[in-house]
């Protein structure tokens, strides 16, 4: 069984300040972990993925995430927020093995970026 918990449903930051979106996971297997971003009226776009290689993963648009097995966390960070980062972010877990590549989604974190 696997699950993912996004600890904040809404996060608000000022433009130019750091972003931290928190995610904890639970998995019976060695998991793959993903962060996706969804802009209004759009589908989900992959930001980055962790697949048991380096624990610090760099993604698109300056985002990165660190896999911490001891804390079962996969928090998403960005040093400096931009207005275009305002969107909803989903943390996603998948078993590393096959089985149809079934993903388990968190409930999402809405990021607001203010001037």
Residue from 31, 57, 76, 89 touching other proteins (CB under 8 A): that is 31
Q: Which two tokens stand for residue 61?
A: 């648009």
| CB neighbour burial string for 13-26, b if at least 16 within 10 angstroms, e if fewer | beeeeebebbbbbe
Is 12 a binder of other proteins (CB under 8 A)? Answer: no
The span of 12-20, 37-45, 63-71, 78-86 binding other proteins (CB under 8 A) equals: 37-45
Residue from 49, 62, 66, 77 touching other proteins (CB under 8 A): that is 49
The span of 13-21, 64-72, 78-86, 91-99 binding other proteins (CB under 8 A) equals: 91-99
Three-state secondary structure call for residue 83: helix
Is 43 a binder of other proteins (CB under 8 A)? Answer: yes
Residue from 7, 8, 22, 44 touching other proteins (CB under 8 A): that is 44
Q: Min. distance of Cβ 115 from other proteins in angstroms?
A: 27
Q: 45 Cβ partners below 8 Å, 6+ apart? A: 36, 37, 38, 39
Q: Which residues contact other proteins by CB under 8 A?
A: 9, 29, 31-32, 34, 36, 41-46, 49, 51-52, 90, 94-103, 105-108
């Amino acid at each position: 069984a696997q699950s993912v918990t996004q600890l904040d449903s809404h996060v608000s930051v000022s433009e130019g300040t750091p972003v931290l979106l928190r995610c904890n996971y639970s998995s019976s297997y060695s998991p793959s972990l993903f962060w996706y971003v969804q802009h209004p009226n759009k589908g989900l776009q992959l930001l980055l993925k962790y697949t048991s290689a380096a624990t610090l993963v760099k993604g698109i648009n300056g985002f990165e995430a660190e896999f911490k097995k001891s804390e079962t966390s996969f928090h998403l960070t960005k040093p400096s927020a931009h207005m275009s980062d305002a969107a909803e972010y989903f943390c996603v877990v998948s078993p590393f093995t096959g089985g149809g590549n079934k993903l388990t989604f968190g409930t999402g974190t809405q990021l607001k970026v203010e001037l």
